[in-house]
Amino acid sequence: MIDVKNLTKRFGPKLAVDDLSFAVKKGEVLGFLGPNGAGKSTTMRMVTGFSPVSTGQIEICGISMIDDPQTAKRKIGYLPESAPLYNDMTVTSFLNWIAKMRGLSGSTRKEAVAKVIETCFLEQVARQSIDTLSKGYRHRTCLAQSLIHDPEVLILDEPTDGLDPNQKHEVRKLIKELGKEKAVLFSTHILEEVEAACTRAVIVDQGKIVADGTPSELKDQGNGSLYDLFHKVTTTDAQAAAA
């Protein structure tokens, strides 16, 4: 459902994403791991059509994101890093507006809003204005907007960022459940999320995939430790500065 081939992104002389290829099937949750600056968010923005590619191909449900981006984007629910919100809206009015933008109307829109409010545990704050919400509730509101149209593909950039431990547990559980019926790609730098939510994960460093496998396969590659594997295959800030 997500098929990425030879994806490359340059910012002037800087090569941010270097010939990446990967696929995510229906029923699969692919964790996209890497240190800060590894190219995770840049890749997400290209896959969702928010940033142009330098070279490479992207297909969403068999539709080219490069040749037919409008149709491809309809298949995606996207939670970007630092997703924008309208502070003067209530949670419900914001989600209603998003649903309308997605082409939902009447009882279908009402049911969709009610469903994502329940799914993302927003009942307690549904009538509050967004500017009164905690960071955790704001983030969950952003997650809810990505689900409003029941997309076939979910692309989530740091979906547990800013959440407390209980909220992280809830969101990871939700991602795992959603992954049974959708293709899910989410980026993170939190290694424990691999075992908590992923069916498979790739580790990216300096724009390249340096490890790929199921959680158990990755642990085996790190002699029983994801942390050891991550440290082995990724570049630290000090190493990057010395290069």
At 27-46, the pLDDT tens digits run: 999 999 999 889 999 999 99
Average pLDDT for 165-179: 89
Residue 164 lies in a domain: no
pLDDT > 90 fraction of the chain, expressed in percent and rounded: 77
| 3 pLDDT above the threshold of 60 | yes
Confidence of residue 238 (pLDDT cuts 50, 70, 90): very low
Q: Are 95 and 117 in contact (CB under 8 A)?
A: yes
Residue 169, in any domain of the structure: no
* Residue 224 token pair: 């029983």
Is 21 among the domain residues? Answer: yes
pLDDT higher at 80 or 56: 56
Averaged over 218-241, what is the pLDDT? 82
pLDDT value of residue 127:
96
Please name which of 150, 143, 54 lies closest in space to residue 94, comparing C-alpha atoms.
143
- Predicted pLDDT of residue 239: 54
Work out the average pLDDT over 163-191.
Answer: 89
Ranked by mean pLDDT, the top range of 78-87, 91-100, 172-181, 219-228 is 91-100
Q: What is the DSSP letter of 46?
A: H
If you average pLDDT over residues 52-62, what whole number do you get?
Answer: 97
Q: How confident is the model at residue 161 (pLDDT cuts 50, 70, 90)?
A: confident
Instruction: Give the single-character DSSP code of 81.
Output: T
Phi/psi for 23 (5° steps) reads -140, 150
In a domain, 8, yes or no: yes
Q: Is residue 238 part of a domain?
A: yes
For the segment 101-129, the average pLDDT, to the nearest whole number, is 95
pLDDT at position 78 is 94
Given the structure tokens 């199921």, which residue do they identify?
Answer: 214
The single-letter code of the amino acid at 232 is: K
Beta-carbon contacts of 125 under 8 Å, excluding residues fewer than 6 positions away, are: 91, 133, 137
Query: CB of 76 within 8 A of CB of 155?
Result: yes
Domain membership of residue 24 (yes or no) is yes
| pLDDT value, residue 135 | 84
pLDDT of residue 242: 43
Instruction: Give the domain range for residue 50.
Output: 1-75+189-243
Q: Can you give the CATH number for the domain in which 22 is found?
A: 3.40.50.300
Instruction: Report residue 10 as tokens.
Output: 């340059």
Average pLDDT of span 172-195: 91
Structural domain count, the chain: 1
Which has the closest alpha carbon to 64: 54, 49, 45? 49
Do residues 92 and 45 touch, judged by C-beta distance below 8 A? Answer: no
Query: CA separation (Å) from 69 to 124, 186, 243?
Result: 37, 20, 38
Q: Does the predicted model carry a pTM greater than 0.95? A: no
Is 146 domain-assigned?
no
Residue 27 in any domain: the answer is: yes
Going by their DSSP bridges, the two strands 55-60 and 28-33 should be labelled as unpaired
